[in-house]
Amino acid sequence: MSKLALHGGDPAGEALEVPNWPQSTEQSKANVLDAVESGAWCRSYDDAEWVDRFEESFGAYHDATHAIGVANGTVAIELALRMLDVQPGDEVLVPPYTFIATASAVTSVGAVPRFVDVDPRTYNVDADAITDAITDRTVGVIGVHIAGYPMDFDALLPVVREHDLFLIEDAAHAQGTEWNGRKVGAIGDVGTFSFQESKALAGGEGGMVVTDDAVLADRGELLCNIGRRSNSVYHHYELASNCRMTEFQGAVLCAQLEKLPEENERRRENERLLRSEIDAIDGIKTKPDDERITARGYCLFDLQYDSDAFGGLSRDRFLEALTAEQIPASTGYAMPMYEQPAFSRSRVAALVPPEATVPRYRHLHLPGVEQVTRRNVSLTHTVLLTDETGIQSIGTAIRKIQSNVDSLLD
């Protein structure tokens, strides 16, 4: 039995060569140079074209009729809420397993986020929990395609339609994810994406709002551009902020999108290989294989760790041993969103009308998300860009820890 790297042994993951990220290409460099030399650095110029190109190509790639490029993924969610005319005091249902922007965007428009539980198998919002949480002030739902694994639209859409709610898809992790042959984003009313540098489609920053609704798209274009139409300079039709994507972001992202399908296919092949390596390991589970998921985008690859199968070894001690074996892994989102200090009742109450009912967030205990945050182990999407030997080393490292678990319990 080989010695754990934590105790001086050779790391099992020495063969795992994870590429640096983000990765530029000659095309991305050429695109940015073109944008620099054009002198049209801001999308508002008549001769600016890179953001237009990216909107068109990304909308086509994600099966969306309309696409609006914005500064980042947080702004994208805020813009989506404004497009849907969310008012101060309205309630929006959000999952508690997500990045803070999913929920903080709700408070940015004076509305109240109400956290609903997730399915612990998929980490995505639970349709039954949505039904139970609806009040007479509920106007919509923001669901998240966590780690690129899509929400269950077959369960969610009937609920939102029955109760006349909107559905925003937070697809920050899901560039390329597909449900029953259609890319996510415009399956709900509005979809939002992030292109922050850690994402599989990386632009440093940047975001996108997509929809198939022409009326919502027209309003979104106004609200994105200080309330003005593209051909107006000092005529403003809405009171709005400036959410625009720069031409530099558009130039980089045009090039990055060209290579995304091939990279996602490589990730998908390596996901299959990784599943074959670890699905037989007692105490390690992956998310369900669902035939309705016809293509995957990736941001993270999540594993569920059962300490009982490792002699009671805590998840955090397991992670310490795994990273020592040179397998880059983390807890993912370390706590339910309702435990974040930013979501104290007093802080949220200061942002919403006095008559609004603000939940006692710190008193919440939702079992699905609390199970996820106790048991999750996340690998980044870049791990899935390594070679076969590197993927196999992940399984080797986990089995090595399990074989040596007694030495970690001393």
94 SS3 class: strand
Respond yes or no: is residue 170 known to be catalytic.
yes
Q: Per the residue annotation, which of 219, 244, 287, 315 is the catalytic one?
A: 244
Respond yes or no: is residue 145 known to be catalytic.
no
Respond yes or no: is residue 53 known to be catalytic.
no
Q: Round to whole Å and give the CA distance between 309 and 283.
A: 5
Respond yes or no: is residue 267 known to be catalytic.
no
Respond yes or no: is residue 228 known to be catalytic.
yes
Respond yes or no: is residue 115 known to be catalytic.
no
CB atoms within 10 A of CB 1: 8
Q: What is the DSSP string of 171-185?
A: -TT-TT-EETTEESS
280, two tokens: 């037989």
Radius of gyration of the chain (CA): 22
Q: Per the residue annotation, which of 66, 82, 114, 228 is the catalytic one?
A: 228
367, two tokens: 């079992």
Q: Per the residue annotation, which of 62, 183, 199, 267 is the catalytic one?
A: 199
Q: Per the residue annotation, which of 99, 115, 310, 338 is the catalytic one?
A: 99
Per-residue exposure over 243-266, b if at least 16 CB sit within 10 Å of its own CB, e if not: bbbbbbbbbbbbbbbeebeebbee
95, two tokens: 């999952």
> Which secondary-structure segment (H or E) carries 56?
helix 50-61
Give the list of residues 6+ apart from residue 1 with CB closer than 8 angstroms, or none.
403, 404
Respond yes or no: is residue 287 known to be catalytic.
no
Q: Round to whole Å and give the CA distance between 375 and 68.
A: 37
Q: Round to whole Å and give the CA distance between 147 and 269.
A: 16
Q: Round to whole Å and give the CA distance between 251 and 10.
A: 44
Q: Per the residue annotation, which of 66, 82, 173, 315 is the catalytic one?
A: 173
Q: Per the residue annotation, which of 170, 189, 212, 302 is the catalytic one?
A: 170
Q: Per the residue annotation, which of 90, 145, 196, 212 is the catalytic one?
A: 196
Q: Round to whole Å and give the CA distance between 162 and 131.
A: 10
Q: Per the residue annotation, which of 46, 136, 164, 234 is the catalytic one?
A: 234
Q: Round to whole Å and give the CA distance between 32 and 157.
A: 40
| In contact, 329 and 300? CB cutoff 8 Å | no
Closest CA to 393 of 326, 303, 306: 326
Q: What is the largest CA-CA distance in the chain?
A: 74
Q: Which ranges of 119-174 would DSSP assign to H, the alpha helix?
A: 127-133, 153-162
Nearest 10 degrees: Cα torsion 30, 33, 37, 42:
110
Respond yes or no: is residue 365 known to be catalytic.
no
Active site (catalytic) residues: 99, 170, 173, 196, 199, 228, 234, 244
